[in-house]
Each structure stands twice: as C-alpha cells, then as structure tokens.
Structure 1
Amino acid sequence: MLTVDFDRLGLRPGDRVLDLGCGAGRHAFEMYRRGADVMAFDQDADELAGVRDLFVAMKEAGEVPAGAEADVKEGDALALPFADGEFDRVVAAEILEHVPADIAAIEELVRVTRPGGTVALTVPRWLPEAISWKLSDEYHDVPGGHIRIYTDKELASKAENAGLVLEGRDHVHGLHAPYWWLKCAVGVTNDRHPLVRAYHRLLVWEIMEQPAVLRAAGRVLDPLIGKSLVLYFRKPVDVG
C-alpha cells in the first residue's frame, strides 16, 4: 500500500533516492522497481534485514531495471550519515509523528537533498488521527508510538522553515481511517473481533485487487477522511 505518488515526486530511473524511516520497505521496493538507486534507512536492524533480503530477491527475479541499485543503512534520522545534497529524491513516510525532535529530522533530510531535488513527507492526517486518540489511549500512548498530531499548516511550515518550497498536497487512504476507528473502539490489539476481521478482509481486497467500487469509494473518502496527509516539496536552487 503506497502513500506517495512517485510521478508527483518526479522520480526517474537512475535517481538517487532516500527512503527515510523505511520500515518494512514498501516505498523503497516500488522506487527500486522504477529503476531508482535506493537507500533504505531505518533504526530497526531487523526490519532492514528483511528489506535487504527482498532487494536481493527482486534483482534475482528480474523485477528491477538493469543498473538499478539498492542498499540499506541503519542509523539515526537526526544525524544522517550522508553527504550534503547526496539524494535527488527523499521520502519520509509516516515517521515524523514518532520523532520528538521533528524539526531537526526535517533539517537533516533537507540537508541531504540536492538543490532542485524533491521531498515527500507523509503523516497521519489531523482529523482521523484526533478521532483515534479520543477513542483509545492504547492507539498512540505506547513506546515508539505517535507523539503529535500534525495539521497541514504545521507540517508545511516546519518544512518551509527548513528551506523547502511546497508544491502540492494530497490526502489518501480514506477507507483506512474507519478501520482504525473501529480498532480503537473495540481494542487496538483485538484483531479477532468479527467486525475488525471483516473490515480487514475489505482492505486486503482493496490492496490486492483494486476493485472499481473501492477505487470509487476511495476517491470520495480521501478528501474527507483520508488517513494520511502527503506534502510534496522542492529544495530550491540557490541563485548567485
């Protein structure tokens, strides 16, 4: 399930890209399939081991264009081990809401983006997230959980203050917000609840088959209750 639109990001084969806080690697894998040179970065060594294994399997299966490369790196988002301007594209999907020093993390990802390069930042959207917090403390008040709820304006302002220029925004995953509200209502870990299981099957159907009826529902729900906010930025080229 992808949150970032890579066409809007301007991704092209051969681009050097950073997936910051890559988790299980969903965005990194798609960028690799599109021919980018991908660096998947995270602080979770176990997650990175799985990402590395799938990178290897993708190459062996011929799923990536010739010449594309991919690797993983473990580290801290507040001290990225990369040179200034090293990446053409940077993706930070659903990570900043976990980071206490989010401004420092944004400044770091801006630093490693080349002038003229693009950045996609995604976080849980304010309204769906606020409802989930009201329904359940267990949803967010856990080690490594969500520590803030962003408004569109707050995230855009923090990125612009770090030197980026906002170029577009989107709201996605409208079908997923009610699923999390339901889980919060019956217990976040209560995956065996019949309503939760039924809704989960619906989401699997959406992701795997992309039926027309659910695509249409998503187009209606995304602007209203889309669970994720996506902002697209460009790092300006200094003049003079």
Structure 2
Amino acid sequence: MPDGPQAPGSASLANPRYWWYQARSDLMHAVFARYLHPGHHLLDVGSADGPSVGWLVAGIRRTAVDLDPGGLEEGDICASVTALPFRDAAFDVVSAFDVVEHIPSEAAVISELRRVARPGGVLLVSVPAYQWAWTSFDVAAGHHRRYTRRRLVAAVEAAGLRVERATYAFASTMPLFIADRVGSRLGLRRPEDPAATRLPAWLDRWLIKVSRVDRWLLRRTDLPFGSSIFLAARVPGEPAHPPGDAS
C-alpha cells in the first residue's frame, strides 16, 4: 500500500480518487487550516493538482507552481521549485506538499521556499516518513530520501525558520503500510507505476474511514509515528505590508 503515488509528472492527475489523496486532504486541513486566513496569498509549489489543495479555506488567493503543466490553470506558472520566478518575501504562505524529497539538495529547496515567504509568513511542508521504508516505489516516484520528524525539523531550522508544529500522519494505517513495505522488500509484490496504483473501491472507502481516526487526533495533538510528516514553520520578523499584498 503506497503512501501516496507521487511520480514525476503529478501522478495524482492520473489517479485523483486514490484514497491516500482524499485522506491526506482531510489530514492537512486538520493540521494546516489554522495557518491560513482570508486575504492570504498562498504559493502552492509542486501541487497544481486538485487532491493536494481541496481543503483550502475560502478567501485564499492561490498561485500554483509545477514542472508539470497538466494541472496548471490560468495564472499558474510552470517552473522549478529550485528557481522560483518571484521576488523575495512575496507570499504570506508557501506550501510544498510531498515536494522536498524529490529535490537532490534539501537545503537548496528549503532555502528557496523560505526566500519567497514574507517575514512573519508560514511554510507548510509534507514529506514521506522513514528511510527504512525505502522500496522500489520510492525509486519510481523520483524520491531522493525519506524523513524522520527530527531530520525535517533540523533541515527547516537550519534555513532560519521557527518550527511551530511537526507531526507524523497516517498512524492509523501504519500496520498496512509496514506490511506493504515488507512485502515489497521480500519480493511478494511487484513494483508499480505510481500513477497507476489502484485498489478495490471497498478498500479505498475503508482506508479513508480508518484515516479519520488520524483526523480526529490531529485536531487535538501530534502523532508519534506515521507514514507521512506534516510541518508548519514561521519566517522570523513582522510583515512589511498587509497580508495578500504581493506588490
């Protein structure tokens, strides 16, 4: 059971109803909604597809950046996360959902995300968890590494941000995740094209229901384990101009 097919070229565009995308949207809302407010200008890096951002609160101005033009809409931009075509301190909130692990240099990508966030602004990040869970799926997905919470926090703090929340997610489906990864390691299941991952409809529905345990918990506390990590960090300083003013 992959922790979300994330192949180069936005695999979720080909498979948007996969349970993991729907569940992740709910879990992100539980963790990240408090950092977004009407009038904010959000730069959404590497997630131009709907499953990543369906949870966003009303009144947010969103600009998407992605290397894959397939999910971009009018006003969005096709560009690399390591060379964002924006001035410094342009956005109230910068998000990178399952992006950082795709870039060879984590320091370079986090530094670039920080560059375009305003003083007092917020960086929202999600990454896959645990290097021990590395399989051929990660290779097919274009990953360079997986994370622990400690490693992600250290990387973000090294870029000069102040971490406000860092939690694992998908704890409730962790037993199935472990079984899937062990099966892959033992050769009991064949490598899949991440964009083509399919499950029976009943299993999709069941996994979404199980993940609601995480949603309930994440609204109240951090989770000590899980197959993903969510992090929110703040750029030091006070905004030089009102939220949403990108001039």
Q: TM-score scaled to structure 2, two decimals? A: 0.70
Output the CA distance in 2 between the equivalents of 1:141 and 1:172.
22
Determine the structure 1 residue equivalent to 2:137.
139
Which consecutive residues of structure 2, in runs of 5 or more, have no partner in the other structure? Answer: 1-21, 184-188, 240-247
Distance 2:214 2:99 in 1: 27
Structure 1: which amino acid aligns with 2:203?
L
Q: Which residue matches 1:24? A: 49
Equivalent residues in 2 for 1:1-240, closer than 5 Å: 1=22, 2=25, 3-4=27-28, 5-8=31-34, 10-31=35-56, 33-48=57-72, 52=73, 71-126=75-130, 130=132, 132-133=133-134, 136=135, 138-142=136-140, 144-184=141-181, 185=183, 186-189=189-192, 197=199, 201-207=202-208, 210=209, 215-216=212-213, 223=223, 225-237=225-237
Aligned equivalents of 1:183, 1:237: Cα separation in 2 = 44
If the length of structure 1 is used for normalisation, what is the TM-score? Answer: 0.71
The structure that has the greater radius of gyration is 1
* Alpha carbons 2:137, 2:192 under 8 Å: kept: no
Query: Deviations 1:5-28 (Å, cap 9, x if unpaired)?
Result: 2333x2011100011111523333
Deviations along 1:42-97, one digit per CA (max 9) or x if unpaired, are 1111232xxx2xxxxxxxxxxxxxxxxx8421101111001111110111111111
Q: Which runs of 5+ in 1 are unaligned?
A: 53-69
Contact 1:183-1:190 within 8 A present in 2 as well: no
- Contact 1:22–1:41 under 8 Å retained in 2: yes
- Structure ranking higher in helix proportion: 1
Change (3 A) 1:181 1:35: same
Aligned partners of 2:69 and 2:152: how far apart in 1?
A: 28
Aligned residues: 201
Q: Percent identity?
A: 31
Instruction: Note closer, same or farther for the CA distance 1:75–1:174 as it changes in structure 2 (3 Å cut).
Output: same
Provide the C-alpha distance between the structure 1 equivalents of 2:147 and 2:121, rounded to a whole number of angstroms.
24
Quote how far apart the aligned CAs of 1:227 are: 1.4
One-letter amino acid of the structure 2 residue matched with residue 120 of structure 1: L
CA–CA distance in 1 between the matches of 2:67 and 2:177? 26
Cα RMSD over matched residues?
3.0
Contact 1:85/1:111 (<8 A) preserved? yes
